[in-house]
Each structure stands twice: as structure tokens, then as C-alpha cells.
Amino acid sequence: MVTDEAARARELVSAARRLVVFTGAGVSAESGVPTFRGADGLWKSHRVEELATPEAFARDPRTVLEWYGWRRGLVSECSPNPAHLAIARFALDGRRRVTIVTQNVDGLHRRAAMTAAAELATQPGPAEPLELHGALHRDRCSGCGRRSEAVVGGSAVVRELPRCPACDALLRPDVVWFGEMLDASVLKRAFESAHEADVCLVVGTSALVYPAASIPQITARAGGIVMEINVEATPLSDVADHTVIGAAGAVLPIMLEGS
Ligand code: BJW
Ligand code: ZN
């Protein structure tokens, strides 16, 4: 029973003083955002090397921008689900230090933080995630690195390639593609939080993509507990102390609310 396992896991969570909640695409699946590697995942119908690498952008920026425009349109129709909201409320209740670290670029943790903060009449700060792979709603200049709100959105055909007003280089989505470095300061803060955590909750990720997938390993090596919530077993399940099989939106409200 999902509820029995989630209730047992809740006792461990309640006792923790410092936690990392490390999330992947599965936490947004119930909001309608497609995952990457599942049966209906984006990489089943789209070739990663033609869309999510710097080489693909250099070769065919229009195709890459149109694909990201389609994804921006899709995410703009989605809302945070009970899993995002349970995580945000948990981070804001002030009973322990929680760091939310996400691989997702969809902005739903950030939006859940705003909702939960408004409910509690507080600031969203403690529930704002470290976004390891960037943010879909932003562009970044491929020349000077300047960040801006996304220009290309929706499913429109890209007629004129967007250019930086400062240096005229092409604008690209502010996300991390394969073969690119993650933001060093964001990664450092995520690794430090993982090292200090009593518990690392790993939610809805296949835990295949590095360096992000090191995060639960860092907690485990430092003596903390790794607890996984996923609809199926993953490569992490062998090293996790506890795996709760179930949908994040069903498990997390039971596990986190009131703990
Ligand atoms: C549910 C659910 C529900 C569903 N409830 N659960 C070491 C070894 C081998 C390779 C490497 C290595 N170190 C680095 C590499 C290379 C590469 C890598 O890791 N490759 C592996 C795939 C083998 N890493 C990189 O290239 C990284 N950069 C880097 O290492 O730089 C250093 C360097 C640079 C240059 C030279 C040398 C060194 C960058 C990785 C960037 C990843 N980018 C993407 C795209 C982001 C932008 C975009 O969105 O378009 O990030 S790829 C994609 O995968 C995305 C995700 O954040 C990431 C992780 O996916 P995630 O979140 O786990 O999703 P899924 O779909 O895989 O899993 C979903 C899960 O949810 C499943 O388990 C479901 O069961 C579950 N689920 N419904 C609960 N309701
Ligand atoms: Zn520029």
C-alpha cells in the first residue's frame, strides 16, 4: 500500500533537521509535462542529439528554437500539482532546513513556492528551487551570456532568429544541454546541501544524468538517508535506503504534510 509506505517514510522525514528534495521530470508528470525517458517521454519521439546539444543549435537553430517554443507553450498551460505544493509547503513551514534541487526547467516548483507563500502570508525564499538545468522561460545570449525573458514562445514558426540587443549573437534557451557545464555556483550549493542533509528525498527522476545524479550519492556517502519516490524502480533503488513506489502527487502530500 502506497499510504502505509508513505506513512512509514513520514516518520523518518519528521525526525530530519536538514533535507534535500531532489526532483526530476516525474514530479511534473501529473501536471501534464512530458518526461524524457518513459514510454511517452520526449526522447522517444524526438532525437536528443538534434535538439538538446550545442552542436544541434549551431547546425539548425531554427529547429531547436521551434521545439523549445512548443515546449514553452505546453508548460504555460500546466500548473503545479499536489506534489509541487506539498514540497513547497514543507519547505516553508520553518520546522527544518529544506533545499529543493530540481533538474526540471518547467518552473513549476517556483510557481508552487509563490502559491504556498501566499497561503502562509510569507516569503517564498526557502521554497525556491536550485534549478540545475536552467529555466525554460528564459533566454540566454550565446555570445555574451546575458539572460532575458524568452522571446520565442508558443508553437509559432520562427521566422527571424532572435538576437541579443547588446552583442547581436543568437539568443538560445537558458537550459543546460548535453555536453554543457552546469552553473558552477548552483551545483556547488546543491552538492553542499546534499552533503549536510540527514535525508535526501529523490522524487520522479531516472537518476541517469550526471552530475545531477550524484546528489543522492553524496548524501549517502556522508551518512544520510536516501528515500526514493517513483512509479517504478530506478538504478538508484539499489542504493536508496527506502523506495516508495507510487505517483508523487499521491505520496508526497501524505509523506510531507503535517510531518
Ligand atoms: C514518476 C511519475 C510520477 C514518471 N511520480 N515518478 C558520467 C557518466 C556518463 C555520462 C556522463 C557522466 N557525466 C556526464 C556525462 C554526460 C551527460 C550524461 O549524464 N549522460 C548520461 C545520460 C549518460 N551529462 C551532461 O552532458 C551534463 N553536463 C556535463 O556533464 O558537463 C560536464 C562536461 C562538459 C563538457 C565536457 C566534459 C564534461 C549536462 C546534462 C544536461 C541534461 N539536460 C537535459 C535537458 C535540459 C533542457 C531541456 O529540458 O530541454 O535535462 S536532458 C534531460 O534529462 C533533462 C532532465 O533534467 C534530465 C534528467 O531527466 P529526469 O528528470 O530524470 O527525467 P526522466 O524522464 O529520465 O525520468 C522521469 C522519472 O520519473 C522516471 O523514473 C519515471 O519512472 C518517473 N515518474 N511519472 C513519480 N507521477
Ligand atoms: Zn549578447
The pLDDT score that the predictor gives to residue 1 is 52
The alpha carbon of 179 and the centre of ligand 2 are apart by a number of angstroms equal to: 21
Q: Quick one: pLDDT at residue 9?
A: 85
Atom of ligand 1 nearest to the CA of 213: 19
Q: What is the pLDDT of residues 4-29, one digit of tens each?
A: 777 778 889 999 999 999 999 999 99
Q: What pLDDT band is residue 159 in, cutting at 50, 70 and 90?
A: confident
* Residue 19 grid coordinates: 533535507
- C-alpha cell of residue 2: 502506497
Beta-carbon neighbours within 5 Å of ion ligand 2:
141, 143-144, 146, 164, 166-167, 169
Rounded to an integer, the average pLDDT of 57-66 is 95
Q: Give the amino acid at 12.
A: L
Question: Residue 254: which H helix or E strand, with range?
Answer: helix 248-256
Q: Average pLDDT in the 66-81 region? A: 94
Lookup: cell for 156: 509559432
Q: Is the pTM of this model over 0.85?
A: yes
pLDDT digits (tens, 9 = 90+) for 212-226: 999 999 999 999 999
> DSSP assignment, residue 67?
H
Burial class (CB in 10 A: 0-12, 13-18, 19+), 237: middle
Residue 200 has pLDDT above 70, yes or no: yes
Q: Which ligand is nearest to the CA of 42?
A: 1
Q: Output the pLDDT for position 153.
A: 61
Residues 196, 212: Cα–Cα separation, whole Å: 16
Sign of CA dihedral 179, 182, 184, 187: negative
- The set of protein residues with a Cβ atom below 6 angstroms from ligand 1 is 24-26, 29-30, 35-38, 41, 52, 103, 105, 133, 175-181, 204-206, 208-211, 229-232, 234, 247-248
For the chain, percent of residues with pLDDT exceeding 90: 85
Does the structure show a pLDDT above 70 at 152?
A: no
